[in-house]
Structure 1
């Protein structure tokens, strides 16, 4: 197998398993003769990234110092409207390279400073950048390297697009499974943008109102404020679910809306999902079936069974007796469920999944 074929295999493997992108980018580095590489996915609110081991510390500092804001490299590359890789020499004059802070204050002191990159617009509205960097002492990226990168560009773009679509389909499948059980649900990104929703969620016109740029709001101002606050906390790193009650209307019963953080993974490189929003109509059974537990928390069948029994009111010792296993085994399963759901106490988990008992209670409105 040639080096190019091996690189292509790794690129398409990364489409299915995004955590493999650093290895794929490193292999492309070897093929084209460069030293570091990164993949950026930028939206209006943030930038997600992955990079080769050699370049990762530099990229992490680039993001932490927010040097991506107003990055002249990307701005000028976009302005060229070139469907291929461009080098620093094509977007900066020699004089600009010697005075641009990105080079003089950031890259060159770290040993870098010559690059070739390409910018691709994603169907989600995000901007994807493949970036390959050379150590400064090795000089500018050569024509042969750019030619090889251009040959690989369609495959890089296709793989990234496939990753995005696969994750979107995965989220939509989860929403469809939740809808089959009668629960309206949506996947939310930063700023409360609705990235995907099932048809039940779309039918909540008397409870939920669509806003500009894919946003949403609950019609009840107090409940809406609590939901938006919960989403802001998710973005800030709070990983515990929240439950917010909202009154009913003539068309719909009261709901308890659950804001459930989506655990970070490499998939988020291509799909900036932050949380599920699931509406539980008041009056539903208190013990959710396995399908919804699996969709929300990725529980095993055994963990889901224990969770449902807990929600039904049984104690760990009663569950152990009914299941013919030790209490310690049940406690291990409960601990695993708490870790997967982001909760800390058994009572919190039971109360959250019951949902109904928080409606109109002062404690739920103050969370």
Structure 2
């Protein structure tokens, strides 16, 4: 396994990158560099919002050029550091590349709660969600055109961490454990990325009625005693929007029953990659997951899983949490 000299963070707006990277830099005694702070400063100097600067950068390469060269120089210096940057993973070769994700409404709530400034200001959760989505898509399109890389592809990274329900301290400790080799070594060596997912946001692909041992109190108790880091990683597929279990429903159920905010997993396929029999992750998810399956799993575990678009299209106006029409 590669020895990591630095940690570079990117991910969803509102996922907590700044909070986590600041503390990790302090604990590891490393310098922290924030490209996000630099972009916000550039936006204020130009009397633009962060979104306006993103859209402007799609046309003016000088905006990215200055920041890109800064990152190249830092990466080439060999300095060990912590970097909060949308694109550092593209420039660094010896870093632990961490991609942080969170549920969009939770991300909007977080950014709405923090002090606003001329570069970033929202009046409601819905406005924040819409503008965060637009900013993210602007960045993604710009990176594809300018660098030929897609920031949404999970295989760009070593670690994917969902911060929706995990506390900052839990995220910080998990990232440090990965960086120092105490967590996920096999996955990182054999088939990165390591996924640390919120079990309440992972979709089942099997009918709960056919799964054996979900409510085995001894197994659930053993999982509780060992903790999430000791759990054998689930096997997960990713559609580009939704995470789903290919193998590991029993472990996922135990994690939910124990209230774990994170569960380890390995990625078997994303988007157009094959899961089984040449079927892509997107097609497999659409074929396996229907409203009744989602409803039964969610009801049994006391969680809410939004109905994916394909399920809504196939069943008509069914609300998440409702079982839908009988088969």
Which of these two proteins has the greater Rg computed from alpha carbons? 1
Bigger RCO (CA 8 Å, 6+ sep): 2
Structure whose residues are more often helix by fraction: 1
Provide TM-score, normalisation by structure 1. 0.27
Superposition TM-score, scaled by structure 2 size: 0.29
